[in-house]
Amino acid sequence: MKKIILVKLGGSLITKKGEPFTEKPGTIRRLVGEIKNVRGKSNTSLIIGHGGGSYPHVPAIKYKTNEGILNEESFDGIARVQDAAARLNRVVVGEFLKSKVNAVSLNPSSFMISDNGRVEKSFLAPLYMLLEYNMLPVVYGDVCLDTRKGCTILSTEQILSHLAEKLNDKFRIEKIIYCGITDGVYDAEGKRTKKITQSNISLIRERLKGSAGIDVTGGMLHKVQEALSVSGKLGIEVQIINGRKKGNLEKATSGVNVEATRIIG
Amino acid sequence: MKKIILVKLGGSLITKKGEPFTEKPGTIRRLVGEIKNVRGKSNTSLIIGHGGGSYPHVPAIKYKTNEGILNEESFDGIARVQDAAARLNRVVVGEFLKSKVNAVSLNPSSFMISDNGRVEKSFLAPLYMLLEYNMLPVVYGDVCLDTRKGCTILSTEQILSHLAEKLNDKFRIEKIIYCGITDGVYDAEGKRTKKITQSNISLIRERLKGSAGIDVTGGMLHKVQEALSVSGKLGIEVQIINGRKKGNLEKATSGVNVEATRIIG
């Protein structure tokens, strides 16, 4: 049974905060290099998902796309958020291609439909074939048409959870890695929480509530909840690691321990 | 019942021949303006498909992507053709957004799978919702994963035929317009053939054989055959018009006669 690791590259990691439509090419290139190294020495397949960061941030906030279709302008929002997310995706995939990694985009708004903010239906035949071909599927946080509220924004985390759950019958899902800009989840004293499980989640949730809303899909609290949920369903571990530190992604993906918050649902 | 016209913008019309990755921004902008005018004055919904022209041309030829997976390099081809096609798509959609038209990409390689070069399965829920929202769906000629030969290239014409056939039960498909760089199909004397039907197709086919292969999906012969087939199946007309002539697309889409080859299967 083929093994799969799903990796999220955080939007804040690959784009410049406060600078709309500005990526960090050096960081993207380094992360692509780390992913390429792992692919070269492991027979585990990877699925990459990346956040949108400063690309779709402005239109997503302006049009409140995550809240659904609120008024006539919401349709502008769907188009502009999709375009912004897809533009960053081309940058990321472009870096993979420059490094001779066969990355192929799967555009969530083209193959997913949601119901009240959660993925309801998806078309996964292309993904299965890409995995069979040992190619590198790349998804990303995207706008999604929603049968209940009209439209929504799917976080990369949710998309990866959905894919992991769907692929779980044919593949062995090893783990999910959220590669962001912190060593994991910090507590009130700025100390890293090493492990999040059902036994300490209510504490964590209470504390993280303040940070919700720093990104349109709910910040660290959303990440932790999404991670705990998929971890519990599939019996896998989700790791939140710091992608700013060189080599961290490569290590974590190769099974080497790095500073992280491990989430076990 | 909502009416739909499907419009193909030819790859040769919107990109510069022989100049890889070079679009014609002025032409794209003008065509976007004509489409915007039609949308403003008509209640017919449009679906836009555009060709790839000089964008995916180079990798598609190099890797023979249309022939399937031939060797290890074919996987590079899938990735590079997809990227090239998607890059042009961003340019086209970007022009729509600049003109305040709510265009949304539907990326064929994300929602279609083919069998020996013909679309076998597709995920059309997002398209239905975009039409319901009166937004403008934009598809394009793309690489496609193929259950028989591994991969293929779907021409924009084939994609539009597939969509027209699938939508035909819920919508009234008015016609399909191929907007290219000629006034239609010319005969040996350079005279425009006004109408192609079952009664003169064999003559046309014989003559066009020479021009096949000028683009990776089969040139004018492919267009005519695809048009005749979908026209016959749906009882609609396909028009081949010249998008170089200002106003032609707007007129043809509004039901005004322009110089064209009309194909009635």
Per-residue pLDDT tens digits for A161-191: 999 999 999 999 999 999 999 999 988 788 9
Average pLDDT over residues A122-130: 98
User: Alpha-carbon distance A20 to A29, whole Å?
Assistant: 20
The answer, yes or no, to whether residue A137 has pLDDT greater than 60, is: yes
Pairing of strands B112-115, B118-122: antiparallel
Q: Least CA distance to B98: which residue of chain A?
A: A80
Instruction: List the structure tokens of B47.
Output: 């679906």
Amino acid sitting at position A146: D
In chain B, which residues have their Cβ closer than 8 Å to the Cβ of A110? 105-107, 110-111, 123, 126
| pLDDT tens for the 265 residues of chain B, in order | 899 999 999 999 999 998 999 999 999 999 999 999 999 888 899 999 999 999 999 999 999 999 999 999 999 999 999 999 999 999 999 999 999 999 999 999 999 999 999 999 999 999 999 999 999 999 999 999 999 999 999 999 999 999 999 999 999 999 999 999 999 998 878 899 999 999 999 988 888 876 544 566 678 888 999 999 999 999 999 999 999 999 999 999 999 999 999 999 9
Instruction: List the structure tokens of B203.
Output: 């003559």
Instruction: List the structure tokens of A5.
Output: 């690791």
User: Alpha-carbon distance B237 to B263, whole Å?
Assistant: 6
Instruction: List the structure tokens of A248.
Output: 């961290």
Residue A211 or B183, more confident: B183
CB contact, 8 Å: B135 with chain A?
A: yes
Q: Least CA distance to A120: which residue of chain B?
A: B125
User: Alpha-carbon distance A197 to A124, whole Å?
Assistant: 30
Beta bridge partners of B6: B47, B176
CB contact, 8 Å: B90 with chain A?
A: yes
Residue A219 binned pLDDT confidence (cut-offs 50, 70, 90): confident
Percent of chain A with pLDDT over 90: 87
Enter the DSSP assignment of B35: H
Say if residues A76 and B102 touch (Cβ distance below 8 Å). yes
Computed over its alpha carbons, how large is the radius of gyration of chain B? Answer: 17
| Cα dihedral A217→A223→A229→A233 (10° resolution) | 110
User: Alpha-carbon distance B163 to B119, whole Å?
Assistant: 10
In chain B, which residues have their Cβ closer than 8 Å to the Cβ of A76? 100, 102
User: Alpha-carbon distance B14 to B8, whole Å?
Assistant: 11
Q: Least CA distance to B88: which residue of chain A?
A: A90
Say if residues B83 and B233 touch (Cβ distance below 8 Å). no
What's the confidence (pLDDT) of residue A213? 45
What's the confidence (pLDDT) of residue B42? 82
Amino acid sitting at position B192: R
Residues of B (92-131) whose Cβ lies below 8 Å from A: 93-94, 96-97, 100, 102-107, 109-113, 121-123, 125-126, 129-130
The answer, yes or no, to whether residue A243 has pLDDT greater than 60, is: yes
Report how far Cα B107 is from the mean position of its chain's Cα atoms: 13
Q: Is the pTM of this model over 0.95?
A: yes
HSE-CB for B152 with a 13 A CA cutoff: 21
Give the Å distances, CA to CA, from B19 to B7, B57, B82. 25, 10, 18
CB atoms within 10 A of CB A79: 25
Residue A238 or A220, more confident: A238
CB contact, 8 Å: A71 with chain B?
A: no
What is the longest distance spanned by two Cα atoms in chain B?
51
Q: How far is B10 from chain A (nearest CA, A)?
A: 22
State the burial class of residue B126 (Cβ atoms within 10 Å of its Cβ: 0-12, 13-18, 19+).
buried
User: Alpha-carbon distance A251 to A111, whole Å?
Assistant: 32
Give CA angle at B127 (B122, B129), nearest 5°: 135
Contact between chains at A79 and B97 (C-beta distance less than 8 A):
yes
Residues 6+ away with beta carbon under 8 Å from B98: B29, B32
What's the confidence (pLDDT) of residue A215? 63
What are the start-end ranges of the H helices in B52-192?
57-63, 73-98, 108-111, 125-132, 156-167
Report how far Cα B189 is from the mean position of its chain's Cα atoms: 27
Phi, psi of A231 (to 5 degrees): -60, -45
Say if residues A175 and A4 touch (Cβ distance below 8 Å). no
The answer, yes or no, to whether residue A227 has pLDDT greater than 60, is: yes
Buried b (16+ CB within 10 A) or exposed e, A161-189: bbbbeebbeebebbbbbbbbebbbbbeee
What's the confidence (pLDDT) of residue A210? 63
> Of A84, A90, A88, A92, which Cα lies nearest the Cα of A63?
A84
State the burial class of residue B195 (Cβ atoms within 10 Å of its Cβ: 0-12, 13-18, 19+).
middle
Q: Least CA distance to B93: which residue of chain A?
A: A83
CB contact, 8 Å: A148 with chain B?
A: no
Pairing of strands B45-50, A142-146: unpaired
- Tens digit of each residue's pLDDT (9 = 90 or more) over A65-97: 999 999 999 999 999 999 999 999 999 999 999
Residue A205 binned pLDDT confidence (cut-offs 50, 70, 90): confident
User: Alpha-carbon distance B91 to B100, whole Å?
Assistant: 14
Helices A73-98 and B73-98, interaxial angle, to 10°? Answer: 150
Over chain A, what is the mean pLDDT?
95
Contact between chains at A109 and B97 (C-beta distance less than 8 A):
no
Residues 6+ away with beta carbon under 8 Å from A201: A224, A228
What's the confidence (pLDDT) of residue B105? 98
User: Alpha-carbon distance A56 to B158, whole Å?
Assistant: 32
Contact between chains at A97 and B79 (C-beta distance less than 8 A):
yes
What's the confidence (pLDDT) of residue A211? 57
**ipTM (interface predicted TM):** 0.96
In a mutational test of the B interface, the residue from A83, A92, A166 whose CB has the highest number of chain B CBs within 10 Å is A83
Phi, psi of B52 (to 5 degrees): -100, -30
Size of interface A-B (CB pairs under 8 A): 118
Amino acid sitting at position B112: M
Say if residues B7 and B46 touch (Cβ distance below 8 Å). yes
